[in-house]
Structures are given as C-alpha cells and as structure tokens.
Chain A
Amino acid sequence: MVPVVFFVSVIVFVVMRLLPGDPILALTGLGSEGMDPEAIAHMRKELGLDDPVSVQFGRWFFGVLHGDLGNSTRLHQPVTEIITSRAPATVQLALSAWLFGIVIGVPAGVIAAVKRNSFADVLATLGAMVGIAMPSFWMGILAILLFAVILGWLPSNGFVGLWEDPLGGLRYLILPAVILGLHLTAAIMRQTRSAMLEVLSQDYVRTARAKGLAELKVIGVHGLKNALLPVVTVMGLQLGRLLGGTVIIETMFAVPGLGRTAVQSIQSRDYAALQGVVLVMAVAVLVINLLTDLLYARLDPRISYR
C-alpha cells in the first residue's frame, strides 16, 4: 500500500509538471512582457522553482502528508477546504449508486442463476450486456428526456444534501445515482450469477438439499454466502470506477461534487484544485481496495493477512 501511494503521488506530480504555462505568470496574472525579469527570477527563487525537481517533489510530498494541497487560483481558498466542502455530494451520490447496484444486482444475479436459462435469466443477462455497453452520459440524456422533460416527475439538475432535506434530496439524487449505478449493477449481476452457478453445483449444496433443507435456506445460507466472495471483490473494484463516473454524471446533473470540480478546474486552468481532486480520488480508491481485501479475509476464513 505505501509504495503504491508513493507512486500515486509521483504520477500526480509528474502530470502537474506537464501542465502548460509558467506558474509565475499564472500566479501574477501578468504577461511575460509586463514583468521585470529580475523580479521573475526573484519569485522563482522565493517559490523554490529553481531547486532540483527531486527537492521540489519532496517539498510538495511533505505538504501533502500534512494536508496541504496548495491554493485554488479560481476560488481563492485552500484546496483542502474545497475538497472537504465538495466531497459530501460525491460521497452521497457514489454510495447511493453503489447501494442501488447491490440491491438490484445481487438478487437479479441469484434469480438468474437459480432459474438458469429461464426467461428471467435471459432477460437479466441481456440487460447486463446492455448495461455494460451503455455510455452513462447517453443513459443520462435519455433519462432526463423521459423523466424530466416528457413526464416532468424529477428535476433534471441540481442537488440538495440528504441531511438537510431527506425527501427533497432524494428527488435530486435518484436520477444521477441510478444512472451512475447502472454499470455497477450489471457487473454485480454477472458476477453474482456466475459465482452462484459455480457454488450451486458443489457437493455441499446437494448434501444440504438431500438432508431436506428448505430451498430458500439452501440458496441463501449454502449458496449465496459462499458465492459472495468474488462479488465483494467486484463491489470494491467497481466503487473506484464509480468515483470516476461521477465526473460525467456530476457535470451532467450539476451536482456540486468533486468530479464537477475537476472539470471546472480544467476549464479555468486551476491546476492546484485539479491535482488535489485527482490525488484524493486515487487515495480513496486505494483505501476502498484495502478495505475490500480486509473484508475478504473476514468473509473467507481461509484467507489471512500477516
């Protein structure tokens, strides 16, 4: 984990160094003619831009470890403040999408596996195939067209925190969350189905049935519990993908979250904010993956981490 976090920050630093424009000129907002070359040289020295790249990286990394991500040039406030104020919307959106994916995907996968080759199975499998190929932005467009423009049931953009107004918040959250979660739902359904098929053909399931256990108990206790392991991996891995998906969904539905902040930062060349959001998202994905691994160990007593 530690070396990976180190590499993550190296990548973020390198990408930031590639960004166009002289930081001094960006900072002062003046053209290169408008400034005394001596003053520029002085500022470069002041800001440590003359130091070797490794020293600059060390200084920046030290700041990151202390929660200092620099200042946003667009909003004129520390990047950490921007991130803490924008994160709740993204977390609410991503978690609702994730929950939607689990609540729909797992039962659909179980039903498809138990009733293999039934009409429901074919329907679920085709649905998953479509769900995986469907671009979220196009799905979003179709959903806005249907639910906001034609039917007028739901708002097409905006956001209200769930804590401030649970019901109103849900009205705003439902479209973006469902669309964001669609891909995850399809992936979870496929994984649940194939894992359940594998488990249900095991001898212990036959034994459970032979000793007269109720079918529901066989599927739930002997089947699903053992099939859940690979499903949990998908849930964890896909949560990272979900965070990436927020970039498009938040921009589309005008949700004031981290993804939209990233897009706005690029448009206004606010690279400190962009860099902060990218770093925070990557670390969040790493933490989620770590938690998934730990959960995996808890679910499967055969796995242990020393």
Chain B
Amino acid sequence: MATETSNSAALTPIMFVPRRQPVGMVGFLRQVIRVRLALAGLVVLAVVVFATIFANWVAPYDPIQVDGYRSLEAPSWSHPLGLDKYGRDVLSRIIYGGRVSLPVGMVAVAIAAAVGVPLGIVSAYFGGKLDAVIMAATDALYSFPSLLLALALVAALGPSIINIMIAIGITTIPVYARVVRSQALSVREHEYVLAARTIGSRDWRIMTRHIWPNVTAPIIVQSSLGMAAAVLAEAGLNFLGVGVRQPTPTWGSMLNEGFPLLRRAPWLSISPGLMIFLVVLALNVVGDALRDVLDPQLRHSRGTEV
C-alpha cells in the first residue's frame, strides 16, 4: 500500500501514511483536480447563467412553438436534442428552462436565509428558554422529509413559481438556523462582544454590528450548497407534476413529460436531467471550494462534511 511515490515509500514506514500531505503524481493530480473542478464549476455556472439571461438570442427556436407534424423527431443537425411530443425544440426549451430553475434556487435560498439567519443569531445570543423553543421548532421543521413537506406546501398554497420558491425556502430554514446558531454561539463568547456589552451597547446593536458580520462566511458557503439543493427540489416537484403548468418549460417538467415516453423518445429525458445534474454538481463544487477558502476551521478537519 501507499507505494505510489517510489522514493519516499522506501523511507516512510506505512504507519505515517495518513499524515502525509498529498505527494507524488496522484496527490498532485488530486490537488489539480480540486482547483480545476472549482474553476470548471464556475465556468459551467457562468455559461448557464449567460444562456438563461440571453435565452432570446441563444436559443435557436421558440421554446413553445408547436409543430404537430414533427412530434418526437429524433436529434438531428437542425435540432441537436430532438423534438418533444408537440414538436417543440428540446434544446431551446432547456435554455429557457433555466429561467425557472435558477430564480427558484436563488429566491428559495434568500427566503430561507432571511428567516433562518435572524432565528439562529437570536437563538444563540439570548439562549435559555427562547433558544430551546426556537430550536425545537426548527428541529420539528427539519424532521419532515423536505421534498414531502415542499410537496404538501405547494399543494396547500397552490401551484405557482412563487409558491414553489416559498415552499422550498421554508423547508431550508432549519439548515440556516442551525448553521448560524452554532457559529454565533462561538462568536458570542469573544472579547469584543463582551467589550461591546460593557460599554452599554444594546442587544440589537451587538447582534447586527458584532455577531452578524462574523457569521457571514458559513452563510455564503451554505447558500451555494443550498441553491444546489433548491434546484434539485424544484426539479423534483416539477417532475412529480405539482409545479408550474404548461407551456412554461422547466427542467423538471420536461422530465415529467419525457418519462412516460422513455422507450420511444429517450432524448426527452436524458438532456434535461443532464442539465440539472451539471448545474447541481457545479454549485456543489463551488460550494466546497468556498468552504475551503472561507471557513478555515473546516479546512483542516473535514469531519463535519456530510
């Protein structure tokens, strides 16, 4: 074992392997892959965001232009990803699909952070009974399988893009409340907080001026990972058919339409899924890289990685 570097393996007994820094060809490759992956993730995101914003110019066809004579046409030069049941261009629909998925991801995360972050700070700062109540409530929210809760919420609020954002946002609140609370708990014990209290600063001022600026790093990290989860959740809801109605294309609803036709027209299902996968992977990779940079405590002990 561990003989990938011939010169050091002769000198280093096996027992020291785990402590060794990544060395040798594979170790070097590993570091390159890490940096390159984060870069690739950013490039993928940039391309997708660009294509989504300028969909009018980028998309080769009108995404809702129906052509009954060309239903389920296989991929070709003029239509690289084929045509769907109604003869609509799949590539154009995927490009326009980002106009739903990306805003849903961003707004859902914003909603979750807007509620979860203050809850976490207040909970950690005041402690005691208030902390116990807030944590019990977030634990309760956290114990619902998130997709199931989002499903029930969308059913309750009615299917619309706004309600999907709200539903996914609500299910993500506990994540922010927990992350921010644990960070704020340690920030609260710092001398500058004690000093602020000694000179008579009010609770509000301490929370907004002293604690908030010191809990932003995990929030940024969580937002990238949270957006990945939100894009997945949105696609899941639309795949189950509870989300946005036709003809607005979304990646999830394209899968929903394509799935029953899987045997006849597999291209309808493969390309939207690949798109979701790429965007989620890119967001995860960027989130991991952000954590390495912004969260020095986690950089060395990656034990909290879930």
Q: Are B147 and A248 in contact (CB under 8 A)?
A: yes
Between B239, B255, B284, the greatest number of chain A beta carbons within 10 A of the residue's beta carbon is seen for B239
Shortest C-beta distance, A117 to chain B (Å), equals 4
Interface flags, B225-261, vs A, CB<8A=1, else 0: 0001000100110011110000000000001001100
Q: Which residues of B contact A194 (CB under 8 A)?
A: 302-303, 305
Q: Which residues of B contact A6 (CB under 8 A)?
A: 140
Given contacts A244-B146, A282-B143, contact A116 B136 (CB under 8 A): no
Which of A119, A197, A247 has a CB less than 8 Å from the CB of B151? Answer: A247
Between B18, B23, B277, the greatest number of chain A beta carbons within 10 A of the residue's beta carbon is seen for B18
Interface residue? A145 (CB, 8 A): yes
Q: Are A137 and B144 in contact (CB under 8 A)?
A: no
Q: Are A285 and B306 in contact (CB under 8 A)?
A: no
Which of B149, B236, B266, B284 has a CB less than 8 Å from the CB of A132? Answer: B284
Interface residue? B274 (CB, 8 A): yes
Which of A122, A206, A234 has a CB less than 8 Å from the CB of B15? Answer: A206
Q: Are B240 and A145 in contact (CB under 8 A)?
A: no
A87 to B270, CA, bound (A): 32
A-B contact pairs, 12 of them (CB 8 A): A7-B137, A11-B144, A116-B22, A121-B26, A129-B284, A133-B284, A135-B232, A149-B262, A194-B303, A237-B306, A244-B148, A271-B155
Q: Are A141 and B30 in contact (CB under 8 A)?
A: no
Given contacts A133-B281, A210-B15, contact A19 B274 (CB under 8 A): no
Interface flags, B271-306, vs A, CB<8A=1, else 0: 001101100110011000000000000000111011
Q: In terms of DSSP, what is the predominant structure of the interface of chain A?
A: helix
Chain B stretch 146-203: residues in CB contact (< 8 A) with chain A: 146-149, 151-153, 155-158
Chain B stretch 4-46: residues in CB contact (< 8 A) with chain A: 4, 14-15, 17-20, 22-24, 26-27, 29-30, 33
Q: Which residues of B contact A263 (CB under 8 A)?
A: 151, 240, 242
Which of A133, A200, A267, A275 has a CB less than 8 Å from the CB of B277? Answer: A133
Q: Which residues of B contact A252 (CB under 8 A)?
A: 259
Interface flags, A272-295, vs B, CB<8A=1, else 0: 001101100111011001000000
Q: Which residues of A contact B270 (CB under 8 A)?
A: 141-142, 145
Interface residue? A114 (CB, 8 A): yes
- 5 tightest A-B CB contacts, nearest first: A244-B145, A138-B273, A7-B140, A133-B281, A200-B18
Interface residue? B47 (CB, 8 A): no
Chain A interface residue count: which class? 35 or more
Interface flags, B120-158, vs A, CB<8A=1, else 0: 000000000000110011011101111111011101111
Q: Which residues of A contact B284 (CB under 8 A)?
A: 129, 132-133
Interface flags, A5-45, vs B, CB<8A=1, else 0: 11110110001101110000000000000000000000000
Which of B235, B258, B302 has a CB less than 8 Å from the CB of A135? Answer: B235
Residue of A nearest to B3 (CB): A118
Chain A stretch 125-159: residues in CB contact (< 8 A) with chain B: 126, 129-130, 132-135, 137-138, 141-142, 144-145, 149
Q: Which residues of A contact B114 (CB under 8 A)?
A: none
A263 to B150, CA, bound (A): 12
Q: Which residues of A contact B147 (CB under 8 A)?
A: 244-245, 247-248
Q: Are A144 and B143 in contact (CB under 8 A)?
A: no
Q: Are A118 and B2 in contact (CB under 8 A)?
A: yes
Shortest C-beta distance, A255 to chain B (Å), equals 14
Shortest C-beta distance, B202 to chain A (Å), equals 30
Chain A stretch 184-229: residues in CB contact (< 8 A) with chain B: 187, 190-191, 194-195, 197-198, 200-201, 205-206, 209-210, 215
Chain A stretch 84-141: residues in CB contact (< 8 A) with chain B: 113-119, 121-122, 126, 129-130, 132-135, 137-138, 141
Interface flags, A232-251, vs B, CB<8A=1, else 0: 00100100110111011001
Shortest C-beta distance, A44 to chain B (Å), equals 21
Given contacts A18-B156, A201-B18, A263-B151, contact A11 B273 (CB under 8 A): no
Q: Which residues of B contact A3 (CB under 8 A)?
A: 132-133, 136
Residue of A nearest to B255 (CB): A137
Given contacts A8-B143, A244-B148, contact A198 B301 (CB under 8 A): yes
Interface residue? A256 (CB, 8 A): no
Interface residue? B269 (CB, 8 A): yes
Q: Which residues of B contact A262 (CB under 8 A)?
A: 148, 151-152
Shortest C-beta distance, A285 to chain B (Å), equals 5
Q: Are A142 and B155 in contact (CB under 8 A)?
A: no
A7 to B174, CA, bound (A): 13
